[in-house]
């Protein structure tokens, strides 16, 4: 019985340790305008983030933190693009930082293209 409990505890500790390990740091994308497709949009620890893939394939799985003063309107545009499956044009600052274990960059503009 002790051995079974010890094995279960070790599996739990190992699984829990992966929860607190930061995600792989992706290379930061260049500052400026990029054509992208919104893959995810939503809250993360009080901030609003979106996940984008480049339309031309130059980057994938980039997390962008929406600029705080404009986050509601930027989120509305990102959600519209996500629901209509339309590409967007985003302006990204080259300021990679960690937010709850995820490397993000600040996004100042999201424009729906079509």
Q: Convert the pLDDT of each residue in 68-109 to its tens digit.
A: 899 999 999 999 999 999 999 999 998 899 988 889 999 999
Residue 60, both tokens: 């994938």
Predicted TM-score (pTM) of this structure: 0.73
Maximum Cα–Cα distance for the chain, whole Å?
63
**Is 25 a residue whose pLDDT tops 50?**
no
Structural domains in the chain plus CATH codes: 25-112 (2.40.50.110)
DSSP notation for the chain: -HHHHHHHHHHHHHHHHHHTSPPPPPPPPPSEEEEEEEEEEEEETTEEEEEEEETTSS--SEEEEEPGGGHHHHHHHHHHHHHHT-EEEEEE-S--EEETTEEEEEEEEEEE--
């Amino acid at each position: 019985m002790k051995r079974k409990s010890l094995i279960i505890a070790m599996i739990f500790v190992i699984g829990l340790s992966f929860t607190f390990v930061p995600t792989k740091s992706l290379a930061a994308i260049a500052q400026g305008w990029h054509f992208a497709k919104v893959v995810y949009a939503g809250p993360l620890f009080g901030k609003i983030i979106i996940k984008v893939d480049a339309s031309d394939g130059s980057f994938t799985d980039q997390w962008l933190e929406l600029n705080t003063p404009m986050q509601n309107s930027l989120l509305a545009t990102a959600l519209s693009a996500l629901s209509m499956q339309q590409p967007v044009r985003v302006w990204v600052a080259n300021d990679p930082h960690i937010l709850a274990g995820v490397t993000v960059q600040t996004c100042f503009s999201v424009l729906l293209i079509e």
